[in-house]
Structure 1
């Protein structure tokens, strides 16, 4: 009996039951449901599993033992705090940027320019492609936080297709994040599987464009079947957006100024990403001025610092456009932070739940269950990654787990195709299946105002369809172009 209760699969099932029953059955606030789920998983996880998890993460034997002896509340709080550290400043500043873009009319100005360039019918495609290429150097959550305010503004203007815009943004950013270096997951894969980074960039881009095409087809269908209205929220009142949409273009800020809160963080993050991908020897010997420039880019290119700078730019635009006093600007910031604060709490609770699942040893348990599974390597790589992702919520952990299982086979076996295809299969597998143990799921729900039910029947299938279509494309390519 004891072995069953401490089995990571049983612990996973118990955690899922608590979260799903809490949110759907008892109508609990997601923060509470995720927190209760994390506590239940932590209570069921034995100390030796926590210690082994810490050792696998590279912690010293002493630190691993100390972690395993911490009480349940402290372990949950540590993971809660770790998630806050990753996303707290990002979401707070992105909330301010979004609020300022909407209130100043900058979002409306950007939308009018997009519609002028693409036309109303092609606007969703513009969102899809732009989010894909922005998502290569910029973190997935950041892309969502920067682009969803634009989706709200364009929906008010054309009066339809809100869900389609959200799904297009989600599709592009998600696939870029798992397929194209220098995104962290693909960058790890190329090192582990010994695939040239340039080859992964080209292959990931081509495959990404194929998968987001299938994602767009599903998004267009889902938008017609389950249309979602643009809902009122604390940080984005519909009447305010509608009032701005009726203004003449001459009353709105210029396009260049309107883009600054988005472009400034985007450019700094991109420049920093390029620098970190270069060998250290290439950055030496350039003189004092060059060294100072590198240090400045590294400082401002940190994702938190870049969003702070973008937030300052957004506040300046709001102050200039509305000529508002300190009290009016303070009110706008307060409204933005009220919405952002709730998002941070929910995502942090989701991070705690996912962290407790990882400590239970579910990733290693799945690896053990699949080690003797005789299947072709490409679909095996895909399904292992998908199972781990669905079980514990983190796409990065799923990538690392699958590559750890398959790297030896990929480099030691005489494959009839290039190992690039295994990397791409792992990347596609990491898209299945986002649900309530995934922090990104909650970012989408809270920022877009989708309900949990709406997200589960639209966003989750969207990523699953793109992942599966990617697997099909990979297997066809491996057959037709085995050596690239």
Structure 2
């Protein structure tokens, strides 16, 4: 291969792009937003116009549209991809941020956890923490789940006098898997839009796979708790006497369970109902439809739209917060502003990731990978897992790993004529993004500081558990794709 061929090879361009992103984050300590944009710029500069035009034609674009895309300036192509991703995901992530903030401030999230504890009892409290963190981790950001539940784990440990590490690992397992598998978490939302996976299908598939992976994580957590029990420790930011006082808060100060569940359940029900309608054409379009039937279908389709469904969940969360806090209009504005500030950073990182992925797609990477794997398509699933694992281990962020991997493989999901549904590729990316958390991962340090685990203790427990869950998910996906391709 000549030097000119090597420089324009999509695999070489992809390698350089990943080096720029990972090197920027780790070596130069750049914010992921800047590193991803820089990577997109480098990839765009290295990709010849002829390759862009050829790739657009291969994806079904007209000759005129392909020439127009290739003729755009680098800045225009980057801005176009950035805007496309913002348009797809900005509203969804903002609504998810509002739902999470309101559930915390209103006490709804704590009510859900306490209700789970009442359901399972003290002896099965770790299972309640596992299920609670997984369920709450669907609409709430990962770090927020930790802030909410680790203090409860300390309070529970103080009450029963044991199993502190088990509680912490159970919380970590549930929250981390929900964050990478089930919308409206940012990573899965990006997979839904980038790989053209129906959001309802991603919800159901991610939820079912999540149950398998967190079960594997829970078994490891019990093993680790037996082998190296860790005591509850005092600290300046979480004094043991303060924990005890907080655990005595009355249930009457919290909202009812049905109201607490509403911001999460409402969008899930709306979206899944629309998915069910799409899956059963006879109900959607019967032979003799009545006026009432038609109006009902239109109403369900309206609220089943992912943007409307998440907005309905956000409205329910705001009403719940207003009921609990009895705040003024200015107070509600402050809560929403805080939520949008946290969600805004996620939107920027996600949009920059979409830009990086879009530039990689224009380099022809999908066609190149298709040529390498055309004789054995099942190899794409472990390949997706491996790419996500490498990116996560190198730069630390599971969300960035999901975004980067989806950008590389989305062309295969939409134009590769797979022998199975693209859902399986998306789930493989989600599972691969769990490996391997260590010092370059903000979540790793967050768990250490909140739980008072030492770095050595965290490396011996969190990283192996995440690895076990990711591999269990990969094995499950491979079996399901073979036995149930969903085509």
| TM-score (norm. length: structure 1) | 0.71
Deviation at 1:118, TM superposition (A): 2.3
Looking at structure 1, the residues matched to 40 and 224 of structure 2 have their Cα atoms a distance apart, in angstroms, of: 32
Which structure 1 residue ranges, 5 or more long, are not aligned?
136-141, 178-182, 191-197, 230-239, 411-419, 437-443
Paired residue for 2:160? none
Alignment of 1:27-106 (within 5 A): 27-106=29-108
Deviation, 1:320, is 1.4
Q: Deviations over 1:236-278 (max 9, x none)?
A: xxxx999976531011111111111111111111111111222
Aligned: 1:320 with 2:323: yes
CA separation of 1:355 and 1:316: change in aligned 2, threshold 3 A: same
Counterpart for residue 258 of structure 1: 260
List per-residue Cα deviations over 1:137-190 (Å, max 9, x = no partner): xxxxx935478755542322223645642432443675678xxxxx979x9899
The Cα shift of 1:309 comes to 1.1
- How far apart are residue 401 of structure 1 and its match? 2.3
Partner of 1:401: 412
- Return 389-398 or 156-165, whichever deviates more: 389-398
Tell me whether 43-52 or 265-274 shows the greater mean CA deviation.
Answer: 43-52
Report the Cα offset of residue 346 of structure 1: 1.0
Q: Tell me the distance in 1 between the aligned counterparts of 2:335 and 2:207.
A: 39
Tell me what 2:297 maps to: 294
Judging changes above 3 Å, is the alpha-carbon distance between structure 1 residues 184 and 113 closer, same or farther for their aligned structure 2 residues?
Answer: same
**TM-score computed with the length of structure 2 as normaliser:** 0.71
Structure 1 residue 38, shift from structure 2 partner: 0.9
Question: Is residue 2:152 matched to residue 1:157?
Answer: yes
SS at match of 1:393: helix
Deviation at 1:402, TM superposition (A): 7.0
1:168 matched residue in structure 2: 174
Gap regions ≥5 residues in structure 2: 155-163, 184-190, 234-241, 392-402, 436-440, 449-454
The question of whether the paired residues in 1 share the 8 Å contact of 2:361 and 2:407 is answered with no
CA contact (8 A) 1:386 1:398 kept: no
8 Å Cα contact 2:103-2:260 kept in structure 1: yes
Query: Which one of the candidate residues 366, 369, 374 is aligned to 2:369?
Result: 366
Please show how residues 414-425 of structure 1 align to structure 2 within 5 Å.
Answer: none
Q: Name the count of aligned residue pairs.
A: 423
Partner residue of 2:352?
Answer: 349
Deviation at 1:89, TM superposition (A): 0.7
Change (3 A) 1:432 1:152: closer
- Structure-2 change in CA distance of 1:6 and 1:264 (3 Å): same
User: Aligned pair in 2 of structure 1 residues 403, 294: CA closer, same or farther (>3 Å)?
Assistant: closer
Distance in 2 separating the partners of 1:473 and 1:290:
40
What CA distance in whole angstroms lies between the structure 2 residues aligned with 1:37 and 1:393?
11
Contact 1:257 1:317 in 2 (8 A): yes
- The answer to whether the 8 Å contact 1:125/1:168 transfers is no
Matches within 5 A, 1:126-137: none
Give the 3-state SS of the residue equivalent to 1:293 in structure 2: helix
| Deviation by residue 1:371-398 (Cα, 9 ceiling, x = unmatched) | 45xxxx5863544554676798345974
Which one of the candidate residues 208, 213, 216 is aligned to 1:214?
Answer: 216
Give the aligned partner of residue 470 of structure 1.
476
8 Å CA contact 1:8, 1:360 repeated in 2: yes
Per the alignment, residue 308 of structure 1 pairs with 311
In 2, Cα distance between equivalents of 1:218 and 1:104: 34
* Distance in structure 1 (CA, Å) of the matches to 2:28 and 2:152: 37
Q: Using the alignment, how far apart are the partners of 2:5 and 2:80 within structure 1?
A: 27
The CA deviation at 1:32 is 0.6
Matched, 1:336 2:339: yes
Match of 1:417 in 2: none
Between stretches 258-267 and 154-163, larger displacement belongs to 154-163
Aligned-partner SS, 1:58: coil
